[in-house]
Structure 1
Amino acid sequence: MEDLYQVGSITQTHGIRGEVKVFPLTDDISRFKNMKNLLLDAGKEGYISLEVENARPQKNLVILKFKGIDNINDIEKYKGHGLYVTKDNRVDLKEDEYFIADLIGCDVYLDSDKDNRFGTISDVMETGANDVYEITLESGKTVLVPAIKDCILDVDIEGGRMEIHLMEGLMD
């Protein structure tokens, strides 16, 4: 099966007409308005393709209505299950925006030593101002690098490579 990316998780039903509340795994919940098809991880049943009929935000959640699911009993058993998109159905990103799933595992190189791998991105922390990349070195030590233009010089998602400038004080 092709790569799937989780975009949310059904938390509970909403009303009796088959709507669900979804906890979004995206930094912009308005993206759900543009999603047409989602895959529901139905456990032993496999993945079920669902067409989004309506999406609207509610506080920090999204209320989704799927075409053909018009009764609470049709969807209730999927509470706690994940919703996914295929790589082709992910939303388009702006320049210098990346999916976290694509960044994890990228090899990191320093601008001062482009031939020797510095480490690997092991986590991305989302903060209010900017993301912070956790880079795990061969020694197991981790270094936190802010995702700002002064530090992140080049990102090649297809090649799984990132070039950074390590600012003074980050390795102390």
Structure 2
Amino acid sequence: MTKLLQSEDKIIVGKVGATRGLDGTLRIIPLTDFEGRFDGLEKIFVGGKLFDVEAVKHISEQLFIKFAGVDSREDARALTNKFLTVDRKDAAPLDDGEFYTFDIIGCEVFGGDKRLGTVTNVLKTGSNDVFEVDGNILIPALKSVVRSIDIAAKKILVDEHAY
């Protein structure tokens, strides 16, 4: 599984895929649970450079974006495989008890007084997420297992008998 690094002020929300057509339109691979965030999008960073968005289209369950100033297939190819980022302040709002994956990664995990390690990845299993701790401990992200998450302190407390 690819591990994506975030900066403190930018959030990765997608990756540029292949070109589509001759006008510079690009297929976008969403890397967010909030795919609707692309609808009505006016600006976004692509590979660290800010672009105006001319059009967003959904075709056959795929997402395509046309950026201003990217007017040919050659222009578009220069952007393939680059990440799309937004300012952290523009992140989709979360409900209480919800957290961004990139905020969980890097948190220290404790079971009682014992430090278990650091979250290195969050696995999406369908029924619930699973925190991968130092590559050798898997902790299900369930209320019955995870006692508290303090993003500011980068600390997660888990039931010491549940892992």
* 127-136 or 29-38, larger mean C-alpha shift: 29-38
Distance in 1, Cα, partners of 2:64 & 2:24: 10
- Specify the alignment match of 2:3 in structure 1: none
> After superposition, what is the alpha-carbon deviation per residue over 1:74-108, rounded to whole angstroms, capped at 9, x for unaligned?
32321222211222222222222222111111011
Distance in 2, Cα, partners of 1:6 & 1:128: 21
Compute the displacement of 1:35 (Å): 4.0
- Specify the alignment match of 2:94 in structure 1: 93
- Specify the alignment match of 2:19 in structure 1: 13
- Specify the alignment match of 1:134 in structure 2: 132
Does the CA-based 8 Å contact 2:34-2:92 persist in structure 1? no
Gaps of 5+ in 2: 1-6
- Specify the alignment match of 1:165 in structure 2: 159
Amino acid at match of 2:104: L
Name the SS of the counterpart of 1:124 in structure 2: strand
1:124 and 2:117 equivalent? no
Q: How does 1:63-82 map to 2 (within 5 A)?
A: 63-82=64-83
Compute the displacement of 1:21 (Å): 0.2
Does the CA-based 8 Å contact 2:109-2:119 persist in structure 1? yes
Larger radius of gyration: 1
Compute the displacement of 1:62 (Å): 1.5
Q: 1:95 to 1:65 in 2, by over 3 A?
A: farther
> After superposition, what is the alpha-carbon deviation per residue over 1:40-98, rounded to whole angstroms, capped at 9, x for unaligned?
11xxxxx3201233323345532112244444343232122221122222222222222
1:153 and 2:147 equivalent? yes
TM-score (norm 1): 0.77
Q: How does 1:26-105 map to 2 (within 5 A)?
A: 26-33=32-39, 35-41=41-47, 47-59=48-60, 61-105=62-106
Q: 1:5 to 1:142 in 2, by over 3 A?
A: same
> After superposition, what is the alpha-carbon deviation per residue over 1:118-158, rounded to whole angstroms, capped at 9, x for unaligned?
3211110001111111122xxxx722111111112211111
Name the SS of the counterpart of 1:97 in structure 2: coil
Amino acid at match of 1:146: P
- Specify the alignment match of 1:144 in structure 2: 138
Q: 1:2 to 1:149 in 2, by over 3 A?
A: closer
Q: 1:35 to 1:153 in 2, by over 3 A?
A: farther
Does the CA-based 8 Å contact 1:29-1:62 persist in structure 2? no
Tell me the number of residue pairs that the alignment of Structure 1 and Structure 2 aligns.
Answer: 157
Name the SS of the counterpart of 2:39 in structure 1: helix
Identity of aligned residues (%): 29
